[in-house]
Structure 1
Amino acid sequence: MSVHDDLTSVQHALDDLLRSVSRLEQQLGGGLEIRRVRTDADHLRESVTLLRDASQGPAATQRPALVTISDAPYDISLWTDSDDEGLGARGRHAP
């Protein structure tokens, strides 16, 4: 199954869930519990919509550009004003 097919299947299942929640809401009234279930179902619908949008966007089909890192040694002058990592500052002694 493709991602599109899976997302469509999830969307159909959510539609069925929301219809069932609506029927329960009519039968049980609008109590706190049914409102929580409705809110959760609505959040799921929004999340699936965001997921569908993300899967169809250009970022989903394009790979990030690769960055080449040279094997040449770095210029030592880049670190003249820094401390030796893990060793503390020059000229200071441990207690």
Structure 2
Amino acid sequence: MSVHDELTSVQRCLDDLFRSVGRLENQFGSGGLEMRRVKADADRLRESVALLRDAAPGIERPRRPDLVSIPDTPYDNTLWTDSDDEGLGAHDRHAP
């Protein structure tokens, strides 16, 4: 397995762990020392895996798409000379 696959597998396991910890918290309450420690340990694991993912070689980060600027100038009205006004009906017809 590649490093990326291993990290993805670990992330899935962590997600399962967090769901289980949430269910335990519902049963035991969140005020006890034991529950707080389990939650803190799970949070620490998630942070550690995130650091490991950042340090892993060869893993490409998801790229944000390039932004496309849209000008504020009005469009050329001749672009719409052969179309009906959508939602308004045709010029020669009336709504019922």
TM-score band by shorter chain is 0.5 to 0.7
Which AA in structure 1 matches 2:52? Answer: L
Which structure 2 residues correspond to residues 1-95 of structure 1 after superposition, within 5 A? 1-30=1-30, 31-56=32-57
- Could you tell me how far apart the structure 2 residues matched to 1:19 and 1:39 are? 14
| SS across alignment from 1:15 | helix
Q: Deviations over 1:31-89 (max 9, x none)?
A: 1101100000000000000000001479xxxxxxxxxxxxxxxxxxxxxxxxxxxxxxx
Query: Aligned partner of 1:19: which letter?
Result: R
Moved over 3 A (4+): none
Name the CA distance, whole Å, in 2 between partners of 1:57 and 1:35: 36
Percentage identity across paired residues of the two chains: 72
Q: How many residues align?
A: 58
Q: What is the Cα deviation at residue 25 of structure 1?
A: 0.3
Instruction: Give TM-score, length-normalised by structure 2.
Output: 0.57
Residue 79 of structure 2 corresponds to none
The amino acid across from 1:35 in the alignment is: R
SS in 2 for 1:51: helix
Q: Secondary structure at the match of 1:14?
A: helix
- TM-score w.r.t. length of structure 1: 0.58
Answer 1 or 2: which has greater helix percent: 1
